[in-house]
Amino acid sequence: MAIALSTAAAFNVRSGIFDLHCRASVTRGGMLLAENIPVTGGTEEYDASLSVPERVTVTVPRIADGVDWTPVDGATSVLGAYGQRLHVQLGVGIGPDGIEWFDRGEFLIRSADVQADRIEVEAVGLLELIDEARFVSPFQPTGTIVSTLRALIEPALTVMIDTSLIDRDVPTSDINFDEDRLGAVLGLLDAWPAQAQVTPDGFLQVIPAGQLPAGATVVYEHNVDGRPDARAIVITRLGGSSRDGVHNAVVARGTAVDGTQVQGVAYDTGSGAASYTGPFNPLPVPLFFESPLLATTEQCNAAAQTILARERRQSYQRYDVEMVPQPDMLGGDIIALADDVTAFDDLREKYGVIEAMTLPYTPSQPMRLKLRQVFP
């Protein structure tokens, strides 16, 4: 879901004519170390194919206003990499009313590299805390999916569960997670089925798999009558296609309480390019998913459908987009594309999801998106 902006800020952003500002603070263990880091440039990257999809780089002068920002002690330095968190805010100029500030996200500082008169700081999304926390000994869950998820993630991150998700018991006797904590989390979500993303305020939000954000961000490629129409200005839009990693079926397998194997299969029977029995391949090209969390055929079918929906995107039309920076957009947002304003009579076939994004924190460079069409 795109970050909410006021009407004035949203209009300026979509018109492509606005001042973009950046400021950052640093905390460690909940304690504020610095309220305003002198950021002179930065970039935020998102890639949904990565376990930890967010990566931020910011440039800080080594010495500014008489303060030396060089990290000389990892535990106490503002830019140290031992639990320090970078809180990024972006601001949009709204004329006489000044600047409208909003949270862009909270990121874990991974490194700070001193280069002559500047420091290059790299930070990553908070799922890094889960990814690097390997199990010391095998983990056997007890209770329900929700309690297991919380046991895997908290207190590193606070989990927010959508009320529409239905909790269920975990068949504990058949489950042992060996080393990969984040892999266990992702497998748990697929088996539920659900999906999760870190919010800009640092919580892990868990929602039903395949749920689309309410209200897509609309992107026009043209202006109306030669003037901005309060929509984002696209500089270029290029397509692409590849059959690598494309599947037209998903097989999900589990174990029933009596020890017998249960299975569910989902076929891509839609009108997309990789539709089952279509020209892509008249035979099944399956992806296999196995989880001890699946104890019934119904659960297997639900997991197979969820994973298939995600896999189907690989066969959908891909767009590489350059555009004026849109500081309210987030990875996973649904974007609507049209060649002109008259094309919005039938937008459903024009929606795409942000699979990768590069957002500059200063207006000197364009924003780059990789979109995958949602409804082929």
Residue 342 belongs to a domain with what CATH number?
Answer: 2.40.30
* Number of domains present in the structure of the chain: 4
Write the CA distances from 81 to 68, 84, 117, 296, integer angstroms. Answer: 17, 6, 20, 45
In a domain, 1, yes or no: no
Query: 15 and 106 share a domain?
Result: yes
Residue 31 in this model has a pLDDT that exceeds 50: yes
Alpha helix ranges (H) inside the chain? 7-15, 128-131, 145-153, 181-191, 297-312
In a domain, 338, yes or no: yes
Residue 272 in this model has a pLDDT that exceeds 80: no
Nearest-angstrom CA–CA distance, 149 and 202: 17
pLDDT at 227: 42
Mean pLDDT (whole number) for 254-258: 87
Higher pLDDT, 244 or 199: 199
> Per the omega criterion (within 30 degrees of 0), is the bond before 155 cis?
yes
Q: Are 58 and 24 in contact (CB under 8 A)?
A: yes
Q: How confident is the model at residue 279 (pLDDT cuts 50, 70, 90)?
A: confident
Nearest-angstrom CA–CA distance, 86 and 24: 7
% of the chain surpassing 70 pLDDT: 85
Q: Which of 126, 156, 184 is the last residue of a domain?
A: 126
In a domain, 56, yes or no: yes
In CATH, what number is assigned to the domain containing residue 160? 3.55.50.30
What residues have CB less than 8 Å from 328, skipping those under 6 apart? 2, 3, 4, 5, 10, 13, 102, 217
Query: 155 and 165 share a domain?
Result: yes
Query: 179 and 151 share a domain?
Result: yes
pLDDT at 364: 77
Q: How many residues would you count in the chain?
A: 376
Least confident of 163-172, 326-335, 344-353: 344-353
pLDDT at 344: 46
Query: 160 and 101 share a domain?
Result: no
Residue 342 in this model has a pLDDT that exceeds 70: no
Question: Phi and psi dihedrals of 150, rounded to 5?
Answer: -65, -40
Q: Is 320 exposed, middle or buried (0-12, 13-18, 19+ CB in 10 A)?
A: middle
Q: Considering the chain, what is the average pLDDT of its residues?
A: 85
In this structure, what token pair is assigned to residue 193?
């089925």
In CATH, what number is assigned to the domain containing residue 48? 2.40.10
Query: 186 and 89 share a domain?
Result: no
Tokens 């196995």, residue? 290
Query: 24 and 116 share a domain?
Result: yes
Closest CA to 354 of 327, 328, 373: 373
Higher pLDDT, 268 or 222: 268
Q: Which of 126, 154, 185 is the last residue of a domain?
A: 126
Query: 93 and 229 share a domain?
Result: no
Radius of gyration of the chain (CA): 23
Range of the domain at 271: 249-315
Query: 157 and 234 share a domain?
Result: no
In a domain, 305, yes or no: yes
Query: 65 and 179 share a domain?
Result: no
pLDDT at 119: 97
Query: 223 and 344 share a domain?
Result: yes
Nearest-angstrom CA–CA distance, 31 and 162: 29
Query: 160 and 261 share a domain?
Result: no
Query: 235 and 345 share a domain?
Result: yes
